[in-house]
Structure 1
């Protein structure tokens, strides 16, 4: 399911008042998913396969707790110039409202795509990005209840996006 981070499906915040709205929306859903528990925070980085890159400065500044969890080579494209290696960094922490605000702001600005937050069992996933967040839940009933609580944050488009 996809939630928009700003009214009228606005993609990018322009001032602190709009950042406050999107952080409230992100944190409200994150609270409903993870309150009282631990979360894994995962960020990503990538580089061409020909380069050994494990950490960008921006990612290091925004997610210093993250340690290299795994890598994934993307080699499906027939042109080797488009082969990439993805690096996934993770940390585990108790969920607290606001603990990810710098990462959420970076995601909203499209400065740090590839963030997701999940419970230790990987049953609930929150993926923020510029314009909103995708949420994956373990059952249709949980999805529908969350959707109904925040129906004003859904797209008016018939596809839901």
Structure 2
């Protein structure tokens, strides 16, 4: 894969800063959200969003539990600061993106930040271009609830949130969230605080 900042006569300063951070990160990015758990394995923990690791909410009471778990951890990561919210879309390089209407409706603040081409397959028909949309905002509990519900329903994948220094990352998915912390010690403290939300599987998945 290869990422490239988007061209343009008047690039967003917040996007430029995010690009510079990723370029100096190890490994350089951006990365696809589902790769975070592998790339940052030593600093990673996964929390499930419903009791007994139930994958999908079936009523508003379960959505309330799910959103409370997400927002509790997000508050611990970002409260009092600012965060980048990133959503993704993808398509064959010659085709329209897959989720543009839904993504735009749920993340209207996000503007195109960068692209990432996956050309590993020798057959060009299986090449994919990923599109990353980002905005920078003060963190407020509940500000991502529509995106979190979409992720929980597997209606919109590829969402992640990071602090403005790329030290903490949060990727919600259908069933829970992957969290990357700056240090293993910080990861362990967070994992201990929410031990009841961990997977029972030895791998943490």
Same fold by TM-score greater than 0.5: yes
2:168 touches 2:180 (CA, 8 Å); kept in 1? yes
CA deviation after TM superposition for structure 1 residue 138, in Å: 0.6
- Seen in structure 2, the aligned counterparts of structure 1 residues 81 and 15 have a Cα distance that, compared at 3 Å, is same
Report the counterpart of residue 53 of structure 2 in structure 1: 9
Q: How many residues align?
A: 161
1:128 touches 1:134 (CA, 8 Å); kept in 2? yes
Structure 2 unaligned spans of 5+? 1-44
CA deviation after TM superposition for structure 1 residue 78, in Å: 1.4
1:6 touches 1:18 (CA, 8 Å); kept in 2? yes
Q: Does 1:29 align with 2:52?
A: no
Which structure shows the bigger proportion of residues in helix conformation? 2
Partner-residue secondary structure (3-state), 1:12: coil
CA deviation after TM superposition for structure 1 residue 52, in Å: 4.9
CA distance in 2 between partners of 1:114 and 1:75 (Å) = 19
CA distance in 2 between partners of 1:146 and 1:17 (Å) = 25
CA deviation after TM superposition for structure 1 residue 53, in Å: 4.1
CA deviation after TM superposition for structure 1 residue 80, in Å: 1.1
Cα RMSD after superposing both structures: 1.1
Determine which of 177, 193, 196 is the counterpart of 1:133: 177
Of the structure 1 ranges 74-83 and 20-29, higher mean CA displacement relative to structure 2 is found in 74-83
CA distance in 1 between partners of 2:91 and 2:98 (Å) = 8
Of the structure 1 ranges 75-84 and 127-136, higher mean CA displacement relative to structure 2 is found in 75-84
- Seen in structure 2, the aligned counterparts of structure 1 residues 13 and 55 have a Cα distance that, compared at 3 Å, is closer
Partner-residue secondary structure (3-state), 1:44: strand
Q: Does 1:144 align with 2:188?
A: yes
Structure 1 unaligned spans of 5+? none
TM-score, normalised relative to structure 2: 0.77
